[in-house]
Amino acid sequence: MTNRILRKNAEKLQLKLNSMKILSAKYIDDYKVQLIFDDKNKNVINFLPVLKKNSVCKKYLDITKFKKFKLDQGNIVWGKNWDMIFTIESLYHNTLK
């Protein structure tokens, strides 16, 4: 019974995350952005560690380019072709890698 309840709760959470959207994104400072999700959860995400690790993202170490993020289809993205994008789940739980 317990495993079934846990599995159902995990499924509900995954469905919620699959439909989750970012309502607003506000530049804070350095490489930090405050995100507000459609369930009103707020997170300040520090993108610097990811930018330093990922060679594709390194061009966004230029703070001028980093600040040019936008919201598109409920997610925060950079570049015309979504050069840099992260899963809603990792943003919601603030677990970028």
- Other beta carbons within 10 angstroms of residue 50's beta carbon come to 17
Domains in the chain, number: 1
In a domain, 23, yes or no: yes
Classify residue 42 by its DSSP letter. Answer: E
pLDDT of residue 81: 87
In a domain, 97, yes or no: no
In a domain, 54, yes or no: yes
In a domain, 6, yes or no: yes
pLDDT of residue 15: 45
In a domain, 86, yes or no: yes
pLDDT of residue 19: 77
3-state SS assignment for residue 43: strand
Is 59 buried (19+), middle (13-18) or exposed (0-12) by CB count in 10 A? middle
In a domain, 57, yes or no: yes
Note the pLDDT tens digit of each residue in 18-71: 679 999 999 999 999 999 999 999 999 999 999 999 888 899 999 999 999 999
CATH of the domain at 30: 3.30.2020.10
pLDDT of 12 higher than 70: no
Structural domain boundaries, residue 44: 2-92
Compute the distance between CA of residue 26 and CA of residue 1 in angstroms, rounded to an integer: 44
